[in-house]
Amino acid sequence: MLDKLKQRIKELLTNKIVNCVIGYEQGDNPTLARPVYITKPNEAERLVYNEYCIPILAKYILKPEVRSLKLEAGKIGIIAKPSDVRALVGLIQEKQIIREDVYIIAVGRKEDFPKIYDEIIETPLSELDAKRKTQDAEQLKQIAEFEKKTPEEKRAFWQREFDKCIKCYACRQICPLCYCRVCIADKNQPQWIPPMPNSGGNFSWNMIRAYHLAGRCIDCGECERACPVDIPLMMLNKKIQQMIKEKFDYQAGLDPEVPPPLSTYQEDDKEKFII
Q: Which residues bind ligand SF4 (CB under 6 A)?
A: 165-171, 174-177, 206, 213, 217-223, 226-229, 231, 237
Candidate list 37, 146, 157, 179; residue touching other proteins; CB under 8 A: 179
Largest CA distance in the chain: 61
Q: Residue 157's binding partner, choosing from other proteins, ligand SF4, none, with beta-carbon cut-off 5 to 8 A by kind? A: none
Rg (C-alpha) for the chain, rounded Å, is 20
Among 71, 161, 167, 200, binds other proteins (CB under 8 A): 71
Kindly state the helix (H) or strand (E) to which residue 107 belongs, with its residue range. Answer: strand 102-108
Does 188 help bind other proteins (rule: CB under 8 A)?
no
CA 263 – CA 253 distance, rounded (Å): 15
Distance CA 88, CA 113 (A): 11
Task: Name the residue nearer to other proteins (CB basis): 242 or 266.
Answer: 266
Task: Measure the CA dihedral 39/40/41/45, to 10°.
Answer: -80
Segment interacting with other proteins (CB under 8 A) among 32-40, 106-114, 130-138, 182-190? 182-190
Decide which of ligand SF4, other proteins, none touches 95; Cβ closer than 5 to 8 Å per partner kind. Answer: other proteins
260 φ/ψ angles, rounded to the nearest 5 degrees: -65, 125
Interface positions with other proteins (CB under 8 A):
71, 94-96, 179-184, 187, 189-192, 212, 259-260, 262-265, 267-268, 274-275
